[in-house]
Amino acid sequence: MAAVRRGLITTLVTGGLVVALTACSSSGDAPEEKTGGPLKVGAILPHTAYAGAGEALVSAVDVAVEEINAAGGVNGGKVELKQVDSTDNNDTAVQAVDSLVTWGSNVVIGAYGSGMSGAIVSKITESGALQVSGSNTSSSLTGINPLYFRTAPTDALEAAKLADLVVQDGHATAAIIAQNDAWGQAFQKSMVESFTAAGVEVVAQQQFNTTDTDYSAQVDAVVAAKPESIVLLSYASYSGSMIESLVGTHGFTDKNLYLSNSTLGKYTIKPSLLKGLRGFLAGPDPAVEAEFDKKLLAKNPNLKSFAYAGSTYDAVIVSALAAIAAKSADGKAVAAKMAEVSGGAEGSTKCKAFKECADLLAAGTKVDYDGLSGGLKFASNNDVTETAYNLYAYDDKGSYAVAP
């Protein structure tokens, strides 16, 4: 592989693509009126899909609400929580949102996938509720609705990190395999832009449909282009056979096969095929992450993947702090304070835990919440502008941890 010397592009941020996505209007019983009563948090996350990738997020919501209520709740009342299973089907998710709207959710946490959020955002926000996702990264959601926020960084930021890594490993060419949905398409676009800025030639691009069961055509096509490196932009639930083929048959290794955040997950393939493969996850310092993971494991000892659990926890906490700052549970009022409590107010005081921040707010002090996922600070389009990444790698047992 030819050694290359190019300027790194970690700071590259591509412009977000704003798209108009629609969903069915609300149906069923009319939602309860959003008032100054108790903050009602709904969560639509996958309990039974994506090979367990959403289970840690479910536990993260539980932990956040428990900690909020243990610290006195919001505006003098305990936060109420209702969790529903999104599955991996958008139609099912749209129906599940009905129950959260009818229940009177002020804040809805989720969805897990960017494409699913695009399918449900209208139904949630038309009810007057605030939607906050801790795992949506697609740039296609940037600016989609004034009541939609996310605590996860956009895929444009991660694409720049991956391009940096490919350059550091000395590769001059790359190929991309991406899943054909809103998340994958936007990530692929950002990945191409990041490679181009880094001086890496993209010699092949292939997409697969999430309904496919055989990905050999896509793998064969990128291998035929003879790239020095390949990046997989796909959920772990679709990636096992691709990794088996690329590593086991075609001889790619941890030195030239790279994984996206969502490709990191639990696999049933031989652990030796995964050993050393790397990908980035946004998250806190590893020591902080380890302590938080213990809390999640106490809720669900079977957890194997913790990706986006910290940012989902932060989604609940920052929403609760915004409700305190607004002195209201109303979704629109909470949304109006989201930027303020996360670093948007001049002279605000940094704080890292709900009780610490809530006490400051009670004393009349403006706060800047820096949570498990680091600084948040929402931009005018409601995307986070600060984030921290850790590089993860698989061990010889098929588990991934922060790379040494």
Q: Residues 291-323: pLDDT tens digits?
A: 999 999 999 999 988 889 999 999 999 999 999
How does residue 100 score in pLDDT terms, banded at 50, 70 and 90? very high
Cα(20)–Cα(118) distance, rounded to whole angstroms? 9
Top CATH class of 40-152+308-375 equals alpha beta
Strands 130-133 and 107-110: parallel
pLDDT number for residue 404: 85
pLDDT at 355 over 60: yes
- Where in the chain are all domains bearing CATH 3.40.50.2300? 40-152+308-375, 155-276
pLDDT number for residue 182: 84
Could you identify the residue written with the tokens 């949506």?
136
pLDDT at 17 over 60: no
Nearest to 285 by CA among 162, 134, 402, 394: 402
Region for residue 104 given its phi and psi (left: phi exceeds 0; alpha: psi -120 to 50; beta: otherwise)? left
pLDDT at 35 over 60: no
pLDDT at 158 over 90: yes
pLDDT number for residue 139: 87
How does residue 60 score in pLDDT terms, banded at 50, 70 and 90? very high
Q: Which residue has the higher pLDDT, 224 or 27?
A: 224
pLDDT number for residue 385: 84
Does the model's pTM come out above 0.85? no
Nearest to 133 by CA among 397, 319, 360, 342: 319
Structure tokens at 12: 């590259």
Identify whether the C-beta of residue 32 lies closer than 8 Å to the C-beta of residue 397: no
The average pLDDT across 217-243 equals 97
Paired residues of 42 in beta bridges: 82, 108
How does residue 363 score in pLDDT terms, banded at 50, 70 and 90? very high
The average pLDDT across 72-87 equals 97
Helix ranges, 236-285 (H): 236-243, 271-274
pLDDT number for residue 393: 97
Identify whether the C-beta of residue 53 lies closer than 8 Å to the C-beta of residue 112: yes
Structure tokens at 171: 């590769």
pLDDT number for residue 116: 95
CATH fold of 155-276 reads: Rossmann fold (3.40.50)
How does residue 234 score in pLDDT terms, banded at 50, 70 and 90? very high
pLDDT at 5 over 50: no
pLDDT number for residue 164: 97
How does residue 36 score in pLDDT terms, banded at 50, 70 and 90? low
pLDDT number for residue 144: 97
Contacts of 347 by beta carbon, 8 Å cutoff, 6+ apart: 366
pLDDT number for residue 10: 40
What integer best gives the mean pLDDT of the chain?
90
Upper half-sphere CA count for residue 12 (Cβ side, 13 Å): 23
